[in-house]
């Protein structure tokens, strides 16, 4: 007997077919001035039209259906373009181009062929990703325009040169190289250097755009990606700015640590669906949130800084020295971590956490959570590895600041904040290890 209801895959395909266009239309509808402007319904139905046409072509094997739909879509887009150019006196073709793109995204959803057991295929993921990117580009038009305004011609050329270097070396870097018995992740080291250079550029834009508040924004959002790279970059900016605003820079470092801990919590939720590790990891999250709020309130009352603290007078936003220094540190420490793990097996988990956390706690946290969830690691050992890696990732900010700036002002503040939080985390770990806190 034939089923009356469609299966889950078809339902998802229909929903996505409408959504990929409706998401773009949502942004366009926010800027509606008249009822004639295309909005959520028009964009959504247009992408759904493409999805149904492509899906029908796949099912029936008849390409006439898709050709017919493409002709209809082309006629609609042409009419919209004519209206924009000759009736609306050339008010721009962004909406028309986005409307045409929605049909293409719909066809991607219709042609998708998900692997067995999965609801989404590569083409559907691609369509959703492009739709979201277009939404961001259209929605943050003013922000992007302001970002471009603060970049000089020399800085733009520098950015293009860096992009060319990245694209040139990207396919040439091998994933690993063999150093004795160790497989060293060369591409991962290269990728971290690229991240650092990109983070430095974002830092530059934020400081130029928001002046004093920019370093605080950068500290938090940069810390979500890579807290070590963020601290290294923001410290270099501090040195280049003649070491002004030490309080704001130290707060930026603290916010980078806070973001790192929050990111690790997200990793635990994603990897360990039992949420046992995350529940116990809430302690360091609460500690850092309280410490950050207290420090921000204290510094706001203590120090008054002028509005022109940072003049953004740096000749180049890309700090190659900081990037290479960070890459060298990562390479050395990661090599030691791999050696200890292979030599001591499970007995080296905590030692590897100490070493690995010094470079980046994210990999240690995700790995420990995966081992626990797979039954290869006990809850106590996994939590100990996560806490030690987090504590070391907080303490390592002192080293990164010291390498970039050996003046005592910033170093003392960062060391004080880092040691306080790390000691609390280690005390929490000690209480668990002694059995005083039940797991």
H/E stretch holding 49:
helix 40-60
- Residues with Cβ < 8 Å from 101, sequence gap 6 or more? 24, 130, 134
In degrees and rounded to multiples of 5, residue 17 shows phi and psi of: -60, -35
Element (H, E) at 184: strand 182-184
Q: Is residue 150 a contact partner of residue 208, using CB atoms and an 8 Å limit?
A: yes
How do the domains of the chain map onto residue ranges? Answer: 8-139, 150-433
Cβ atoms within 10 A of the Cβ of 31, count?
Answer: 13
Give the helix/strand (H/E) hosting 112: none
Question: Can you give the pLDDT at residue 307?
Answer: 45
323 or 309: which leads in pLDDT: 323
Q: Which two tokens stand for residue 255?
A: 């916010």
Got the DSSP string for 275-334?
A: -HHHHHHHHHHHHHHHHHHHHHHHHHHH----TTS-----S-S--HHHHHHHHHHHHHHH
Q: How far apart are CA 25 and CA 235, in angstroms?
A: 42
pLDDT band at 308 (very low <50, low <70, confident <90, very high): very low
Which three-class secondary structure state does DSSP give residue 178? strand
Question: Quick one: pLDDT band at residue 186, thresholds 50, 70, 90?
Answer: confident
Rounded mean pLDDT of 274-285?
85
Structure tokens at 195: 């991240």
Do the Cβ atoms of 16 and 128 come closer than 8 Å? yes
Instruction: Determine the Cα–Cα distance for residues 306 and 292; give it in Å rounded to an integer.
Output: 22
Over 70: is that where the pLDDT of 212 sits?
Answer: no
pLDDT on residue 177: 79
- Chain length of the chain: 439
The number of beta carbons lying within 10 Å of the beta carbon of residue 115 is 9
Share of the chain above pLDDT 90, in %: 7
For residue 407, give Cα distances in angstroms to 312, 353, 410, 418, 433.
21, 30, 7, 17, 38
> Mean per-residue pLDDT for 268-287?
83
Residue-averaged pLDDT of the chain: 76
Chain segment 42-58, per-residue pLDDT in tens: 899 999 999 999 999 98
Lowest mean pLDDT among 52-66, 193-207, 420-434: 193-207
Pick the closest to residue 134 from 252, 256, 268, 20 (CA basis).
20
- Residue 231: which of 79, 388, 101, 404 has the closest Cα? 404
Structure confidence at residue 312 (pLDDT): 38
- Residue with the larger pLDDT of the pair 124 and 200: 124
Given a contact cutoff of 8 angstroms between Cβ atoms, the answer to whether 289 and 255 are in contact is: no
Question: Which residues, 6+ apart, have CB-to-CB distance to 191 below 8 Å?
Answer: none
Whole-number Å distance between alpha carbons of 264 and 286: 13
For the chain, what is the radius of gyration of the CA atoms? 26
Q: Look up residue 83 and give its DSSP letter.
A: I
Instruction: Name which residue leads in pLDDT, 345 or 61.
Output: 61
Does residue 315 carry a pLDDT above 50? no
Cβ count near 195 (within 10 Å): 18
User: Residue 249 has which token pair?
Assistant: 């820079």
Dig out the tokens for 80 from the structure: 């919209």
Helix (H, G, I), strand (E, B) or coil at 177: strand
Phi, then psi, of 86 in degrees rounded to 5: -110, -20
Mean pLDDT confidence for 68-94: 80
């Amino acid at each position: 007997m034939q089923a009356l209801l469609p299966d889950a895959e078809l339902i998802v395909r229909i929903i996505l077919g409408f959504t990929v266009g409706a998401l773009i239309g949502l942004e366009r509808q926010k800027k509606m001035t008249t009822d004639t402007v295309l909005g959520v319904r028009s964009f959504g139905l247009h992408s759904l039209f493409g999805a149904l046409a492509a899906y029908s072509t796949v099912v029936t094997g008849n390409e006439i259906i898709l050709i017919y739909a493409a002709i209809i879509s082309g006629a609609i887009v042409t009419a919209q373009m004519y209206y924009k150019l000759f009736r609306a006196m050339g008010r721009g073709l962004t909406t028309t181009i986005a409307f045409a793109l929605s049909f293409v995204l719909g066809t991607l959803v219709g042609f998708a062929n998900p692997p067995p057991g999965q609801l989404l295929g590569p083409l559907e993921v691609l369509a959703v990703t492009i739709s979201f990117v277009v939404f961001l580009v259209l929605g943050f038009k003013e922000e992007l325009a302001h970002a471009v305004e603060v970049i000089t011609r020399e800085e733009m050329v520098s950015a293009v040169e860096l992009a060319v270097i990245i694209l040139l070396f990207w396919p040439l870097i091998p994933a690993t190289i063999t150093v004795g018995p160790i497989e060293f992740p060369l591409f991962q080291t290269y990728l971290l250097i690229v991240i650092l250079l990109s983070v430095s550029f974002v830092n530059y834009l934020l400081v130029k755009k928001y002046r004093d508040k920019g370093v605080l924004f950068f500290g938090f959002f940069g810390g979500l990606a890579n807290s070590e790279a963020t601290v290294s970059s923001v410290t270099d900016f501090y040195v280049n700015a003649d070491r002004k605003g030490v309080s704001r820079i130290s707060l930026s470092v603290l916010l980078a640590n806070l973001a790192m801990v929050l990111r690790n919590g997200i990793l635990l939720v994603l990897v360990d669906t039992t949420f046992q590790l995350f529940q116990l990891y809430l302690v360091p999250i609460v500690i850092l949130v309280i410490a950050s709020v207290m420090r921000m309130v204290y510094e706001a009352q203590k120090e008054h800084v002028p509005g022109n603290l940072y003049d953004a007078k740096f000749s180049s936003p890309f700090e190659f020295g900081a990037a290479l220094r960070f890459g060298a540190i990562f390479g050395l420490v990661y090599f030691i971590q791999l050696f200890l793990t292979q030599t001591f097996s499970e007995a080296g988990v905590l030692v590897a956490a100490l070493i690995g956390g010094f470079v980046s706690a994210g990999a240690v946290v995700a790995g420990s959570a995966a081992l626990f969830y797979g039954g290869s690691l006990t809850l106590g050992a996994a939590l100990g590895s996560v806490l030690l890696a987090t504590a070391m990732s907080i303490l390592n900010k002192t080293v990164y600041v010291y390498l970039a700036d050996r003046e005592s002002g910033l170093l003392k503040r960062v060391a004080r904040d880092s040691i306080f939080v790390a000691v609390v985390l280690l005390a929490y770990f000690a209480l668990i290890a002694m059995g005083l806190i039940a797991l």
